[in-house]
A and B are shown apart, each in its own frame.
Chain A
Amino acid sequence: MEQSHIVKSFDDELKLINTTLAEMGGMAEAQLTKAVRALVTRDADLAREVVAEDSKIDALETELDRDAIRIIALRQPMATDLRMVITALKTSANLERIGDYAKNVAKRTITLIEMQPVGNTAHTIERMAELAQGLVGSVLDAYVKRDLAAADDVRMRDEEIDQLHTSLFRELLTHMMEDPHSITACTHLLFIAKNIERIGDHATNIAEYVHFMVSGETPDDERPKGDETSQTIITS
């Protein structure tokens, strides 16, 4: 661990930012887990709970932004301190977005419960969500431990979510062609899958900032990407 600042209150302020960020991260992870559990178990109450909870993440983001801006204005942080504050700002914006996606999954779940389930897709989505949650958890860990290797690992692991997303996309298109009555439900499921795929992307964004925070450099290599949905055509 780095030595303390001569001005101790500066350490307290930086610590406060990290505490807020950890709280946000924990909430974002929990929101995703709950939203997907609501989908799989068709639990509208749980989904509504997720929708209601999202404002708490938003409030924490506002709080963190305010604290970070105050540090920049009053402390003029340099070097690792500067990189940490910038990374915290960027990370909180990404976590807030992850919270929004979880909320959207929950909202669509409330609608989906009104309709017939479509095949086994909810379980594929659950698998995607587990991976996404794993990424979010790992990247927050990497942040706390200042672990460059762990952050880089998160960037590489997102590919698997992309691949699941691509196969789910094909599966849902096939369902829609076979049974036009399922189009409404399948479209909601497509958005849900897309939301989770985006959560993975946000986790890798955070990983790139953690890389910057620890090393002072931005990762220059392209990370592997497995999302082929934008080129997918299914013909009957």
Chain B
Amino acid sequence: MNEIKITAKNVNVFYGDKQALKDISIDIPARQVTALIGPSGCGKSTFLRSINRMNDVIDGCRLEGEIKLDSEDIYARGIDVVHLRARIGMVFQKPNPFPKSIYDNIAYGPKIHGLTTSSAEMDDLVMGALEKAGLIDEVRDRLDSPGTGLSGGQQQRLCIARAIAVEPEVILMDEPCSALDPIATARIEELIDELKENYTIVMVTHSMQQAARVSQKTAFFHMGELVEQGATEDIFTRPQDERTQAYITGRIG
């Protein structure tokens, strides 16, 4: 039996009067890639953002139900959201490096979380994160140059390195390749494949081919409902629900 990292149970999310997620229950297996797919507005990004409480900052957003990270309720009173977001990192659609050097982009998180005690330790941590993100060879000689000077794909890997630097357990990715060309996309996908050895990854993607390529589990959302979830291979070869079938074969948008 696979170890479960995150459990959502009967999750409902409302933006004011509008219900964005209806009774979502799903287990996210540890050290695997779970892909969330579905048409725009289906609730997949809302669900992703519920996992590290990114929706807290949205006015009028309200969540019912339960989301547990290793059996700990992340919406319980007394949960330190900053600490939670260190455990559950996030990578966004558009690469968003800080307007700082490559080095400082990565060092920033560990610094505020107090993860290192000396500059030598910090150097190791930064280099380690760049290495894990597959970026080290491309930036070794220019760690002091601005992160924003990198190519789109490199910036995205820098953001992944930045997420890794605070030693998270889970990495959430919201369409991480949608702004990248196919080569940069392939690099990120290869990286995701390597990262899943150590991290639990949950990814929203509009590319069904990408979901098929990188994930082991796929969940299909439609109109705020979690219609179907299962092994990726099963979802793409023999989906059980007609709505899943219609969506992945290009019959509904």
Contacts and interface: CB of A to CB of B under 8 A. Distances in A.
Interface of A: 2-7, 10, 76-83, 215-217
Contact of A76 (B209, B237, B251): B209
A205 B83 CA distance: 59
Contact of B208 (A4, A5, A78): A78
27 contacts: A3-B246, A3-B251, A4-B251, A5-B249, A5-B250, A5-B251, A6-B250, A6-B251, A6-B252, A10-B250, A76-B209, A78-B208, A78-B212, A78-B236, A78-B237, A78-B248, A79-B237, A79-B238, A79-B248, A80-B245, A80-B249, A81-B249, A82-B236, A82-B237, A83-B237, A83-B238, A216-B237
Contacts of A5: 249-251
Contacts of B97: none
Interface of B: 208-209, 212, 236-239, 244-246, 248-253
Contacts of A6: 250-253
Nearest to A82: B237
B253 to A, nearest CB: 6
Name which of A77, A79, A81, A216 has the most chain B CB atoms within 10 A of its CB: A79
B220 to A, nearest CB: 11
Q: What is the interface of chain A mostly: helix, strand, loop, or mixed?
A: loop
Given A216-B237, A216-B238, A79 B245 contact: yes
Nearest to A7: B250
A195 B146 CA distance: 74
B251 A78 contact: no
A82 B245 CA distance: 11
B249 A79 contact: yes
Contacts of B249: 5, 77-81
A2 B242 CA distance: 10
A229 B252 CA distance: 53
A79 B239 contact: yes
A235 B90 CA distance: 80
Given A78-B208, A82-B237, 15 more contacts: A3-B251, A4-B251, A5-B250, A6-B250, A6-B253, A10-B250, A77-B249, A78-B236, A79-B236, A79-B237, A79-B238, A79-B239, A79-B248, A83-B237, A83-B238
Kindly name the residue among A3, A7, A77 whose own CB sees the greatest number of chain B CB atoms within 10 A. A3
A215 B234 CA distance: 12
Nearest to A5: B250
Nearest to B253: A6
A80 B244 CA distance: 11
Contacts of B246: 3
Contacts of A78: 208, 212, 236-237, 248-249
A187 to B, nearest CB: 46
Contacts of A216: 237-238
B229 to A, nearest CB: 15
Contacts of A3: 246, 251-252
Contacts of A4: 251
Contact of A2 (B239, B244, B251, B253): B251
A208 to B, nearest CB: 15
Nearest to A75: B250
Contacts of A215: 238
Nearest to A86: B237
B9 to A, nearest CB: 29
- Chain A CB within 10 Å — which of B237, B246, B249, B252 has the most? B249
A82 B253 CA distance: 19
A189 B249 CA distance: 49
Nearest to A3: B251
A6 B251 CA distance: 5
A4 B238 CA distance: 18
**By CB atoms of chain A within 10 A, which of B208, B212, B245 has the most?**
B245
Contacts of B208: 78
Contacts of B250: 5-7, 10
